[in-house]
Structure 1
Amino acid sequence: MPPPAQRVPLWDNARFVAITLVVAGHAILKLISESDVSYGVYLFIYAFHVPVFVAVAGYFAKSDAPGPAQLKRLVTDLVLPYLIFEAIWTGIHWILDGRPRIDFVSPSWTLWFLLALILWRVVLPYLALLRFPLVISVIVSVASGYLPALGGVLALDRALGLLPFFVLGWKLRQLPLADLWLRASTRVVWGVRAVSIGLFTALALVIASDMGFWRDVKIRRVLLFQEAYPSFGYDEWWAGGLRLAAIVVAGVLVIAFLTLIPRRGTWFSPLGQATMYVYLLHSFVLYPLRESGWLDGVLPWWVLPAMIVFSVLVAVGLSQPLVRKIFRPLVEPRAEWLFRRSA
C-alpha cells in the first residue's frame, strides 16, 4: 500500500488566511455604508479573497472522469451539507419571520459556495478536454453577466461568474510553478514577495484615492461576480469589460497572495484543514450581530479593527478539534445508509 500523500503547508496556510478574510469581509459589511475607511477595507478584501478561496479549491479538483468514489464524495461533501444547512436556515427564518418559506433553489447567505463547487467539479472534466479552458471560462463568466434571467437560482450567477478562478487553480496544478516555488531560494522568494507587496500596496492606494468614485461606479457589485450588469445600472454593451477587468486584476492578486503565504508549517497550518467548518458555521456567529442593529449607523473608529480581530478569533475558534468533532455530522455527513453496497 502506498504511503498517504503528505500535506503541503503552503496550501493549508493559504486556506486559513483566505477563510479568515471571508469571515472579515462578512463581519464588516454592515459598516461600509457609513464609513469610507470600512468601505475601503471591504473593497481591498473583496478584490481577491473569494477568487483565492475558489482557486485553492480548484487546485485540488480532479479533471478526470469521476468514478463512484468521487461521486459519493460529491454527495457527502457538498450536496448533503447544503441540504442540511439550508434546512437549518429555513427553520431560523421561519422562527424569526413567523412564516414558513421552503426554498432550496435560492441558497441562504454563504451556501451558494457549496452549489457552485458542485457545478465546478461537474463541468471541470469537460473543460479539461478543451484546448483553452481558462480562456473559455473567462468568456463564460463575462457572458453570464448579460443574462439577468440567471438570478440566484442554484447560485448559477456566482458559479459562472467565478468559474475562471476555479479553472485557474486547476491550471496551476498542471504547471510546475507550485513545485518550483516551493524549491525556490530565499533570495528569489523575497524578490517575488517584494513585487507582490508592491501590487497590494498599489491596490490599497488606488482604492483610497477616491472613495466617492468607487461608490458611484458601484465597484462593490462588480467584485461580487454575482448580479447581471443591468441590475446595478450597466445596460451598455461594454459592461462585460468591467467583469473582465475584475477577473484580470483578481487573477494577478491570487498569484501575488499565494507568494506571500508562508511555504513552511506555521501555527495555523493545522487550522487550514477545517476551512469548511469555518465557512459554514461563521454565519451563525455573525448573524445576530448583523440583525441586532448593533452595527448600524455611525460607529466609533475602533469598531472596524475590533471586528477584524473578532473575525480572526472566530476563524481560529471554529477550526478547533472540539468544534469539528461536534459538528462533523452536519459538515461532513458520512451517510453510509444512503449508498448501496458495491457488488
Structure 2
Amino acid sequence: MFHAPHGNQRAPLPTARESEPVPTTQQAHTQVVDAPAEKSAPKSACRDAYFDNAKYLAIVLVAVAHAWEPVMDGSRASRALYLLVYSFHMPAFILISGYFSRSYTGRPDQLRRLLTGIAVPYVVFEVVYSLFRRWAQDAPEQPISLLDPFYLTWFLAALFIWRLTAPLWRLIKWPVPVALTLASLATLTPDIGADLNLQRVLQFLPFFVLGLCLKPEHFQLVRRREARLLALPLFAGAGVFAYWASAHMNFGWLYRSSSAQELGVPWWAGIVMTLAFFGCALLLTAGFLAWVPRRRTWFTVLGAGTICGYLLHGLLIKAADYGRVFEDYAWLSDPGGEIMLTLIAAAAVTLLCTPPVRRSLRWVTEPDMRWAFRRDATELGRLRR
C-alpha cells in the first residue's frame, strides 16, 4: 500500500481492531430461518426486534395453516381463512429472507454460513423426514433423495439457490420484472420436474428478489400509523374476497408447485395468476408487516429460533397425519376442534422456537464446522496481525 503523492512511503498497517469487521443487524439476520450470529457480537446489539417479531409471527401462521389443511374441507369459512393466510405468510417470510441477503456477495465466510446454516440442515432433515415416513408407513422401499425435497424442506433448498444467485440479481437493471417473467414462464412449463422443487423455487423467486431491492426506508413506510390503519380495511376486504374465492379457486395455485397445464387451465392463466397472486401477496405482506410490533416483546427472542420451529413442527403435523388423528377424530373439523388445533399449533411452534430447543439443535442448525473448511487469505492475515 503506497501514498502516491509521497513516493514510496509505506502506509501504516491498520490495527487489529480496525481490521475486524463490525457486526451489523444485517449480518446477524443473514438468513431468516435463522443464521448463527457472529460469535464475538453481543446479540442484543446485532438483532432488530421488529424483524425478530415478524419472523416469529410468520412462523406461527405457517404452523397454524399446516394444522388447518387436513380439517378445513368441511367449512367454507375455514377454507377462506386458510386461503387468506396462505396468500402471504410464505411470501412475507421469503421477502424478509431476500432483504437480509442484500449483503451476500459470495465471500468465503458467507459461503461457509450458507453451507452450515442452510445446506447441512436441509440434508439432515430431508433424511429425518424420509426415514420418519418410512417408519410410519412401514414402507422401507421408499427412496431417500436429496434432489426431491419432502414436505417442508423445499424452503431450505430454495433459500440455498436464491442466496447463491443474489449477486446476479444486483447486476440486473430490472430485477423484479425479470424475476416475474421467470415465474410466469415456470407456470407454462410442466416438464420442469421435481428436482429441488424448481417449480416452487422459480414461482416464489420474485418475493426474494423484491426483498433484495428493498431498503430500510421501505420498512419505515409500513411501520407508520397510517399504514396500520390502512391494513384494517385491506384485510377486511381480502377476507370477504377469500370467502367468495374459496368455493371457486383451485388451491393448487397457492403452493406454486404446479404449472397451469397441470392444474387443468389454459397456459395464459399461469401468467395472469402469477401477476395477480404477486400483487395480492405484496399488499397483504405490507399489511402484515404494518401490524408487527416494533418494540421488544415476550416473543422477540423466539425470532432467533424460527429454523427450529419451522423444521420441527412439520414432524408433529406428519405424526398426526400418519397416525390418522385427523381422520379418526372427525370433530376436529368442527369450529371448536379447529380452534383447538389453532391453539395447539401456535403453542407447539412457540415452544419449538425457544432458546433451550435452539441450543439443543445447534449441532445441526448452526454447526461449527471449521474443521471442514480452509481458511482464506484474509482471515489468515487478520490472525497474523
TM-score (norm 2): 0.82
For residue 97 of structure 1, give the secondary structure of its aligned residue in structure 2. Answer: coil
Q: Which moved more, 1:294-303 or 1:109-118?
A: 294-303
Asked if the contact 1:54/1:166 (under 8 Å) is kept, the reply is yes
- Per-residue CA deviations over 1:206-255 (Å, capped at 9, x if unaligned) read 112354223xxx1x111212211111111343432012100111111111
107, 128, 137: which one aligns with 2:170: 128
Residue 100 of structure 1: CA displacement? Answer: 4.7
In 1, Cα distance between equivalents of 2:104 and 2:93: 22
**Residues 1:57 and 2:91 aligned together:** no
Asked if the contact 1:18/1:49 (under 8 Å) is kept, the reply is yes
Q: Which moved more, 1:93-102 or 1:13-22?
A: 93-102
Residues 271-286 of structure 1 correspond to what in structure 2 (within 5 A)?
271-286=302-317
In 2, Cα distance between equivalents of 1:87 and 1:119: 19
Residues 21-36 of structure 1 correspond to what in structure 2 (within 5 A)?
21-36=61-76
Aligned length: 332
Q: Report the residue type matching 2:86 in the other structure.
A: Y
In 2, Cα distance between equivalents of 1:35 and 1:119: 37
Percent identical residues: 30
Change (3 A) 1:336 1:16: same
In 1, Cα distance between equivalents of 2:317 and 2:232: 30
Asked if the contact 1:10/1:265 (under 8 Å) is kept, the reply is yes
Kindly name which structure, 1 or 2, has the bigger radius of gyration based on alpha carbons. 2
Residue 36 of structure 1: CA displacement? Answer: 1.9
143, 151, 161: which one aligns with 1:109: 151
363, 366, 378: which one aligns with 1:332: 366
In 2, Cα distance between equivalents of 1:239 and 1:87: 33
Residue 190 of structure 1: CA displacement? Answer: 2.6
52, 74, 85: which one aligns with 1:12: 52
In 1, Cα distance between equivalents of 2:227 and 2:95: 20
In 1, Cα distance between equivalents of 2:219 and 2:87: 23
Which residue does the alignment assign to 1:250?
Answer: 281
TM-score (norm 1): 0.91
Q: Report the residue type matching 2:77 in the other structure.
A: V
Which residue does the alignment assign to 1:99?
Answer: 141
Change (3 A) 1:195 1:91: same
In 1, Cα distance between equivalents of 2:179 and 2:375: 37
Please list every run of 5 or more consecutive structure 1 residues that lacks an aligned counterpart in the other structure: 183-188
73, 76, 83: which one aligns with 1:43: 83
In 1, Cα distance between equivalents of 2:265 and 2:200: 18
In 2, Cα distance between equivalents of 1:229 and 1:73: 36
In 2, Cα distance between equivalents of 1:233 and 1:192: 38
In 2, Cα distance between equivalents of 1:336 and 1:88: 24
In 2, Cα distance between equivalents of 1:301 and 1:171: 42
- Per-residue CA deviations over 1:159-203 (Å, capped at 9, x if unaligned) read 110011111222222x62234666xxxxxx332211111111111
In 1, Cα distance between equivalents of 2:360 and 2:270: 46
Q: Report the residue type matching 2:131 in the other structure.
A: G
In 2, Cα distance between equivalents of 1:116 and 1:265: 30
In 1, Cα distance between equivalents of 2:160 and 2:145: 18
Q: Which has the higher helix share?
A: 1
Q: Which moved more, 1:222-231 or 1:55-64?
A: 55-64
Change (3 A) 1:210 1:257: closer
Asked if the contact 2:222/2:228 (under 8 Å) is kept, the reply is no
Asked if the contact 1:59/1:166 (under 8 Å) is kept, the reply is yes
Which residue does the alignment assign to 2:266?
Answer: 235
Which residue does the alignment assign to 2:218?
Answer: 177
167, 183, 190: which one aligns with 1:148: 190
Please list every run of 5 or more consecutive structure 2 residues that lacks an aligned counterpart in the other structure: 1-16, 25-44, 378-385
In 1, Cα distance between equivalents of 2:179 and 2:308: 29
Asked if the contact 1:94/1:100 (under 8 Å) is kept, the reply is yes
In 2, Cα distance between equivalents of 1:170 and 1:237: 28
Name the structure, 1 or 2, with higher relative contact order (CA <8 Å, separation 6+): 1
Q: Which moved more, 1:1-10 or 1:49-58?
A: 1-10
Asked if the contact 2:169/2:175 (under 8 Å) is kept, the reply is yes
For residue 77 of structure 1, give the secondary structure of its aligned residue in structure 2. Answer: helix
In 2, Cα distance between equivalents of 1:180 and 1:210: 30
In 2, Cα distance between equivalents of 1:283 and 1:328: 18
For residue 367 of structure 2, give the secondary structure of its aligned residue in structure 1. Answer: coil
282, 288, 297: which one aligns with 1:266: 297
Which residue does the alignment assign to 1:186?
Answer: none
Asked if the contact 2:88/2:285 (under 8 Å) is kept, the reply is yes
For residue 126 of structure 1, give the secondary structure of its aligned residue in structure 2. Answer: helix
Q: Report the residue type matching 1:225 in the other structure.
A: R
Which residue does the alignment assign to 1:185?
Answer: none
What is the RMSD computed on CA atoms of the aligned residues?
1.8
Residues 70-89 of structure 1 correspond to what in structure 2 (within 5 A)?
70-89=110-129
In 1, Cα distance between equivalents of 2:228 and 2:220: 17
Which residue does the alignment assign to 1:206?
Answer: 241
For residue 247 of structure 2, give the secondary structure of its aligned residue in structure 1. Answer: helix
Residue 77 of structure 1: CA displacement? Answer: 0.8
In 1, Cα distance between equivalents of 2:162 and 2:125: 20
